[in-house]
Amino acid sequence: MALRLYNTMGRKMEEFKPIVEGHVGFYGCGPTVYNYAHIGNLRPYVFLDILDKTLTYLGYDIKHVMNITDVGHLTGDADDGTDKMVKSAEERHQSVLEIARFYTDAFLSDIDAMNIRRPDVICKATEHIPDMIELIKKIEANGHTYMAGGNLYYDISTFPDYGKLANLNLDELKAGAGRRAVSIIDQNKRNPNDFVLWFTKSKFEDQAMTWDSPWGRGYPGWHIECSAMSMKYLGKHFDIHTGGIDHVPVHHTNEIAQSEGSFTAEERAEGPWVKYWLHNEFLVIEGGNKMSKSSGKFLRLQTILDNGYAALDYRFFLLGGHYRKPLAFSWGAMDSARSGRESLNQRVAKLIQKANAEENLSLTKENFRQVLSAIKPTVTDNIDRFREGLENDLATPVALSAMQKESNGKGRKASEALSNILVMDGILSLDVIPCAFDAIEKQASASIPDSHEGDPEAQEIDALVAKRTAAKKAKDFAESDRIRDELSARGIAIIDTPSGAVWKRV
């Protein structure tokens, strides 16, 4: 089975065929760094992470690019609303750049905690203003712009394919311009769906971040940054563009218009700007509402940690839903995710103990990757199902289920099951094996008395356990088993851990 993805352009599943065989370039819309990322914001980056790691797993050489929007822009896609960056800077009594740096670092800390691999290129809008200006010049030269009220606008009527991603009808958009003119905030627009490429006059006085340009001193519209930076790092034509489903009707629609509006005739003949468009659905909270920062009340990853969950519990929860389906967040759902992840870790812990006891692998938290990577993964129904799930539009619930079944270790050596789990966790990134070692060590520490001094019976048991360990090391398994059975008859259970054998009364 080959990788198949749901392409928003055309609304259908398609077999993935990169523009250049064996190589994939993809761009994901990054955060606007004016506040902390809320847990709904983090869902797209787990989806992007799965895409990144699945493509690598399938043998592709990838280049993953993500922007950081650190230029102040408006709260609405349609050039209206409040300037997010300036508003945050005023509230915190800091400069716009200080705000951007602080929240960029906070975002990167969150994705690191979620085991999200950082993109190959993380590009900041403020560092690419010249690239945006050069792109706007090309769009202007192709006749797609007009100046009005001091701002440079993109005229959507000059681009016949406008709205093809969102299935918008250009004639209907033109017809509706007159009827909607009364409610338009920006009276300079010829069509309410036209958008700003470069602002020199906005409703904000003393704009904090401005640059010189051929159209006057000002700042770029929001949409132009993604076009300019993606083409700078991936070329005029690349494979995949991702983002939230809310980006389809405006942001991504405008990106296509301005990007392809900059093309020469030869570049248009080579194909579209982006071949595959992938969009994730929202995370909703109890009651069915999309999480939003506008109210000032939202859940951060730190909120989850403060409530006693791990960051990987939240990742486990997200992997349980398909990226194209809305996912409902609740604390009850987080309880289930934590319980499910703990059960998975416990099953893997048993596989580790079994591999060490029966196969003498001497697996530790430090060497397990080296040891297990040397074991050829066994082709099992679970491995097949895992791959098929990922190849079927990144179906993480299927892949997660396959890894859970593999953790049962049925029908194969424990080491083989662990080797398969190591491969699977390379994509799902739940740190299953390290967490299983943590579970073993926690169990062992709970069973060890603070001191056996003054307890002759305990000291005798310590001596027998040490004798059994020496017998195992000498491969005298008959003696080792005899000591184990003797202690078992006395109600003593021996637990083999990566740090050595410990015992407890049962």
Mean pLDDT confidence for 390-409: 97
Binding-site residues, in ranges, read 29, 226, 251, 255, 293
Condensed to tens digits (0 to 9), the pLDDT of residues 63-112 reads 999 999 988 654 444 445 556 656 666 666 667 788 889 999 999 999 99
What burial class does residue 396 get, using C-beta atoms within 10 Å of its C-beta: 0-12 exposed, 13-18 middle, 19+ buried? Answer: buried
pLDDT for res 442: 81
Mean pLDDT confidence for 301-311: 96
Mean pLDDT confidence for 249-263: 97
Mean pLDDT confidence for 182-206: 77
Binding-site residues for ATP, in ranges, read 293
Q: Find the Cα–Cα–Cα–Cα dihedral 35, 40, 46, 52, rounded to 10°.
A: -70
Rg (CA), the chain: 28
Contact by Cβ (8 Å): 29, 251: yes
Beta-carbon neighbour count of residue 180 at 10 Å?
12
**Is the predicted pLDDT of residue 297 greater than 70, yes or no?**
no
Binding-site residues for Zn(2+), in ranges, read 29, 226, 251, 255
Beta-carbon neighbour count of residue 486 at 10 Å?
12
Identify the architecture of domain 23-280 in CATH: 3-Layer(aba) Sandwich (3.40)
In 2-127, where do the E strands start and end?
A: 4-7, 12-15, 23-28, 61-68, 121-124
Buried b (16+ CB within 10 A) or exposed e, 271-282: ebbbbbbbbbbb
What are 5's strand-pairing partners? 14
Q: Classify residue 182 by its DSSP letter.
A: G
**Average pLDDT score, the chain:** 88
Rounded-to-integer distance, Cα 208 and Cα 205, Å: 9
Rounded-to-integer distance, Cα 320 and Cα 1, Å: 22
Q: Classify residue 125 by its DSSP letter.
A: G
Condensed to tens digits (0 to 9), the pLDDT of residues 462-494 reads 888 889 888 877 878 788 889 888 888 888 888
Condensed to tens digits (0 to 9), the pLDDT of residues 325-374 reads 999 999 999 999 999 999 999 999 999 999 999 998 889 999 999 999 99
**What string of DSSP letters covers 13-37?**
EEE---SBTTEEEEEE---BTTSPP
Q: Which residue has the tokens 């010049």?
A: 137
Contact by Cβ (8 Å): 393, 6: yes
Beta-carbon neighbour count of residue 456 at 10 Å?
8
Contact by Cβ (8 Å): 280, 44: yes
Condensed to tens digits (0 to 9), the pLDDT of residues 413-451 reads 999 999 999 999 999 999 999 999 999 888 766 555 555
Q: In the numeric block, which tokens belong to residue 54? A: 């699945």
Counts for the chain of helices (H) and strands (E), in that order: 18, 16
Domain layout of the chain by residue ranges: 23-280, 331-443, 448-505
Amino acid at 310: A
Measured CA angle at 322 (ends 321, 326), to 5 deg: 75
